[in-house]
Amino acid sequence: MEYQQKRQPLLYVDQPSMRAPEARMQQQYYQPSHVNGTRRPTQEDVKNKSDMSFKHLSIAGQINYLLTGPEEIPAIRCEIFTKSNKYLGIITDQNENDVVLRVIGRPHQFIPKQDIIKIRLIGF
């Protein structure tokens, strides 16, 4: 058996000792909740309003909301309750009498608008 000698590294990399840079940022801020006697909406108020607004729309308003969302946001999946069934998918179109629902793994479903009882948002 041959013994190998340990050798010193061939190249040394010297790391300079530097201090981390100091970031000068604002430490405090003040946001009054009342300006000129009127209450400014807080972030929680806006969140609650956006959560509740879909629930308080009519069925036709809910369908329009889901169809006319911004293009930057992906389509929202929803659950549609009718008198006899429950459907899960994405509303893609509507006509005078029906709503077109895209269901994964199935052909498009045509759901009569008059049969819709409730629409519940699920997510993206």
**Per-domain residue ranges of the chain:** 59-123
Characterize the bridge pairing of strands 109-112 and 116-123: unpaired
What pLDDT does 44 receive?
58
17-63 tens-digit pLDDT: 778 778 788 777 776 655 555 555 555 555 554 455 777 888 888 88
The C-alpha atoms of residue 116 and residue 86 are separated, in whole angstroms, by: 10
Q: Which CATH architecture has domain 59-123?
A: Roll (2.30)
